């Protein structure tokens, strides 16, 4: 497959109310290729969900066009669209007394006949979808008794059962704990590789997205969209623009956020490996900037196997764990 599975041409998304239009994102020109995992990022309320709903034809564009495999979205019938695009939403699905398998079978809706009876090939697709998201051991279970992470996997299996070429997911990780989030993103990534799907997913989990996505679409305040590989987007400074606030800074090298807790002074850390790094983290949280060895520095901390030693303005301290280090640092700050 060549070319874009999904393309937008000068798209504007937003709302129509009483004759007036309010665009949230304008001049949107995006493309997602088959086999690519695209993460849509941006601050809350910027219009990520609106954009995704427009891409899935759940809401009309204000102007411009969405193209699916070269066809204008407006010319695609609901049934045909369901065979091309699978959707997973943030909302928790409240359905009682429905087995996982039956729920995934619902995904055959656009393929099955008038009464919804399934053929042998339908069943094979359902089997494949259940297998692909790794929930075969749950197939006979009641959907309502699954954990949030398992539910999202099942909802993805249902979308896969539609045999789409494009998967659109609106914050599927919103209710999940950290391991489930990582697993879910891993699953989406695998689907792009194994099934050749194009996957567009919006998420709040910036750090995870930057590590797993092939392409990032980053919506900036003001409605501009920066696109590219995660590294391109980091280099462009877009991430800082979109998310930084008074108390928080994005560290491009570590690709993580740092909490700014104050400006107490500088500190030197010595010690080996992970202990030194963790001692640095304690210092940072207490408002110190960790610097390489220097003479001007008034605080030095050494982390070793049985705890830590510190020297601050001639005052010595030591302790067995990081908790006591933090207490020592706070006590020192209270004195000055």
* Closer residue to another protein (CB): 166 or 276: 166
The closest of 256, 275, 255, 260 to 320, measured between CA atoms, is 275
- Provide the minimum distance between the beta carbon of 26 and another protein in the complex, in angstroms, as a whole number: 25
Q: What are the φ/ψ torsions at residue 46 (nearest 5 degrees)? A: -80, -20
**Residues binding another protein (CB under 8 A):** 56, 58, 78-79, 81-83, 85-87, 89, 91-99, 102-103, 106-107, 109-110, 112, 114-117, 144, 159, 162
CA distance 291 to 313: 17
- Provide the minimum distance between the beta carbon of 313 and another protein in the complex, in angstroms, as a whole number: 58
- Provide the minimum distance between the beta carbon of 96 and another protein in the complex, in angstroms, as a whole number: 6
* Closer residue to another protein (CB): 121 or 247: 121
* Closer residue to another protein (CB): 175 or 322: 175
Q: Is 219 exposed, middle or buried (0-12, 13-18, 19+ CB in 10 A)?
A: buried
* Closer residue to another protein (CB): 76 or 290: 76
CA distance 247 to 171: 25
Which run of H or of E encompasses 310? strand 307-312
- Provide the minimum distance between the beta carbon of 211 and another protein in the complex, in angstroms, as a whole number: 28
- Provide the minimum distance between the beta carbon of 157 and another protein in the complex, in angstroms, as a whole number: 13
Token digits for 187? 């699953």
Angle, CA of 330, 305 and 308, to the nearest 5° = 20
* Closer residue to another protein (CB): 92 or 211: 92
| Cβ atoms of 157 and 129 closer than 8 Å | yes
The closest of 303, 300, 278, 282 to 291, measured between CA atoms, is 300
- Provide the minimum distance between the beta carbon of 82 and another protein in the complex, in angstroms, as a whole number: 3
* Closer residue to another protein (CB): 52 or 303: 52
Token digits for 143? 């959907």
């Amino acid at each position: 497959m060549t070319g874009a599975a999904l393309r937008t041409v000068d798209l504007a998304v937003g709302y129509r109310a009483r004759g007036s239009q309010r665009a949230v994102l304008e001049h949107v020109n995006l493309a997602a290729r088959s086999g690519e995992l695209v993460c849509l990022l941006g601050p809350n309320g910027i219009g990520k969900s609106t954009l995704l709903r427009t891409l899935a034809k759940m809401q009309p564009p204000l102007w411009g066009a969405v193209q699916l495999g070269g066809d204008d979205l407006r010319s695609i019938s609901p049934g045909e669209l369901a065979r091309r695009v699978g959707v997973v939403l943030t909302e928790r699905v409240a359905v009682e007394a429905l087995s996982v398998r039956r729920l995934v079978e619902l995904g055959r809706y656009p393929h099955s006949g008038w009464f919804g009876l399934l053929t042998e090939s339908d069943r094979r697709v359902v089997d494949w979808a259940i297998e692909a998201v790794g929930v075969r051991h749950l197939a006979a279970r009641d959907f309502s008794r699954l954990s949030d992470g398992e539910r999202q996997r099942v909802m993805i299996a249902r979308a896969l059962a539609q045999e789409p070429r494009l998967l659109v997911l609106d914050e599927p990780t919103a209710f999940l704990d950290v391991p489930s989030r990582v697993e879910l993103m891993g699953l989406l990534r695998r689907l792009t590789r194994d099934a050749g799907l194009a996957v567009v997913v919006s998420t709040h989990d910036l750090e995870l997205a930057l590590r797993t996505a092939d392409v990032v679409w980053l919506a900036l305040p003001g409605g501009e969209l920066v696109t590219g590989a995660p590294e391109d987007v980091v280099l462009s400074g877009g991430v800082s623009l979109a998310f930084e606030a008074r108390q928080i800074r994005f560290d491009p090298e570590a690709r993580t956020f740092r909490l700014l807790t104050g400006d107490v002074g500088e500190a030197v850390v010595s010690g080996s490996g992970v202990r030194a790094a963790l001692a640095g983290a304690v210092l940072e949280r207490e408002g110190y900037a960790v610097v390489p060895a220097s003479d001007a520095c008034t605080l030095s901390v050494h982390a070793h196997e049985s705890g830590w030693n510190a020297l601050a303005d001639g005052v010595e301290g030591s302790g067995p764990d990081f908790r006591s280090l933090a207490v020592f640092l706070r006590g020192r700050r209270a004195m000055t």
